């Protein structure tokens, strides 16, 4: 065997040995590590991450600037339709109390993708779904909701101290609860309920009287009056004539107001922030059902 060929064999053998050692100590650990710790997270447990919002709330953003309380109050008429939709946000960081009376004929997409007025849409869905729908509409995350009816509204008004409701016009109608006994002198007229125009004491009795009034077949006048009643209760709820941090009165409401994700513990935690209506800068967002929502939505994030 020639010396050249012998040298080639020795060199080739040493090369195989070196590359083999490199493979054992460098390449194999990398392959093993990649196999045991894959970068593909398709099967990774992500239950500890923040929940993914539904399609209705994908565009909603939380308003974070100090401690913040956001809620929506949906007031229903006796026919079950939404007569009032009230959004509120108390923001400690900006020292602002923002609220908006959202028109009930504002349209939003229903579960089949068709636009429908909120007064009908909110009448059919639960509170959590309504929260998602309104969060999507306003473009901000809303944390809490309360859905009220006549009895709940009357219970709130009964806890007021000296609140008033200004009635634009006198209302008069046959008392639906009157037994109307036969008058011995032949008077068979039905007893009436009469509420005078002007300031009236805002209490549970007045709430029942107004919400029993339905003068027109299309419910338009009735819904307008009911909307005004809910809004009057809302604005005076936070002031001295209303409850004004009356913790006992507010806590007692949770035995009556049950269609809500609020409870006495949450309200107690946010009590001082909730009752800043007449302390912080007050910001009322005024809109109509024909407003351009692409321009309005940013107002709810200010």
What is the helix (H) or strand (E) element at residue 266, kind and residue range? helix 264-274
Can you give the pLDDT at residue 167? Answer: 93
Q: What is the 3-state secondary structure (H, E, C) of 81-127?
A: CEEEEEEEEEECCCCEEEEEEECCCCEEECCCCCEEEHHHHHHHCCH
Q: Where are the beta strands (DSSP E) in 23-81?
A: 68-76
The Cα–Cα gap between 262 and 142 comes to 12
Looking at residue 241, what is its pLDDT?
Answer: 58
* pLDDT for the residue numbered 238: 79
Structure tokens at 63: 């308003």
**How many residues are recorded in the chain?**
302
User: Residue 74: what are its φ and ψ, rounded to 5°?
Assistant: -105, 120
pLDDT of residue 108: 86
DSSP 49: S
Q: What is the mean pLDDT of each run of 10 residues along the chain (302 residues)?
A: 54 53 46 39 28 39 65 94 95 93 90 88 94 90 95 92 90 81 59 93 95 72 89 85 64 85 89 87 86 74 66
Nearest CA to 268 among 247, 289, 288?
247
Task: Give the Cα separation of 90 and 47 in Å (integer).
Answer: 31
Using DSSP's 3-state secondary structure scheme, residue 148 falls into strand
Instruction: Give the span between the Cα atoms of 236 and 35, in whole angstroms.
Output: 65
User: Domains (ranges, CATH) in the chain?
Assistant: 55-183+190-301 (3.40.630.190)
**pLDDT of 183:** 56
In the three-class reduction of DSSP (H, G, I as helix; E, B as strand; rest coil), residue 213 is classed as coil
Exposure b/e, 86-95, CB count within 10 A at least 16 = b: bbbbbbbebe
Q: What is the pLDDT of residue 8?
A: 52
Residue 67 DSSP code: S
Distance separating alpha carbons of residues 286 and 101, to the nearest angstrom: 7
pTM of the predicted structure, to 2 decimals = 0.73
């Amino acid at each position: 065997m020639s010396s050249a060929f012998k040298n080639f064999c020795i060199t080739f053998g040493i090369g195989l040995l070196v590359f083999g050692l490199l493979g054992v100590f460098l390449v194999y650990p990398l392959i093993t590590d990649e196999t045991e710790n894959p970068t593909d997270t398709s099967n990774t447990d992500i239950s500890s991450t923040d929940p993914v919002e539904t399609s209705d709330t994908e565009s909603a953003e939380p308003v974070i600037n100090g401690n913040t309380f956001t809620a929506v109050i949906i007031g229903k008429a006796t026919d079950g339709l939404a007569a009032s939709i009230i959004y509120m946000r108390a923001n400690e960081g900006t020292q602002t109390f923002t609220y908006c009376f959202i028109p009930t004929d504002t349209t939003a997409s229903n579960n089949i993708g068709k636009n429908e007025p909120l007064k009908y849409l909110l009448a059919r869905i639960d509170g959590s779904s309504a929260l998602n729908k309104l969060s999507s509409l306003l473009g901000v995350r809303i944390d809490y909701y309360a859905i009220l009816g006549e009895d709940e509204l009357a219970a709130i008004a009964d806890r007021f101290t000296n609140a008033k409701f200004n009635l634009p016009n006198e209302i008069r109608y046959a008392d639906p609860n009157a037994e109307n006994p036969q008058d011995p002198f032949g008077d068979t007229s039905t007893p009436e309920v009469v509420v005078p125009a002007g300031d009236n004491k805002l209490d549970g009795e007045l709430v029942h009287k107004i919400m029993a009034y339905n003068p027109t077949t299309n419910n338009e006048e009735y819904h307008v009056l009911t909307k005004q009643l809910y809004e009057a209760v809302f604005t005076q709820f936070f002031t001295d004539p209303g409850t004004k941090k009356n913790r006992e009165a507010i806590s007692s409401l949770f035995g009556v107001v049950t269609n809500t994700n609020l409870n006495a513990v949450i309200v107690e935690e946010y009590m001082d922030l909730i009752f800043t209506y007449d302390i912080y800068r007050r910001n009322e967002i005024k809109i109509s059902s024909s407003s351009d929502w692409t321009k309005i939505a940013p107002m709810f994030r200010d």
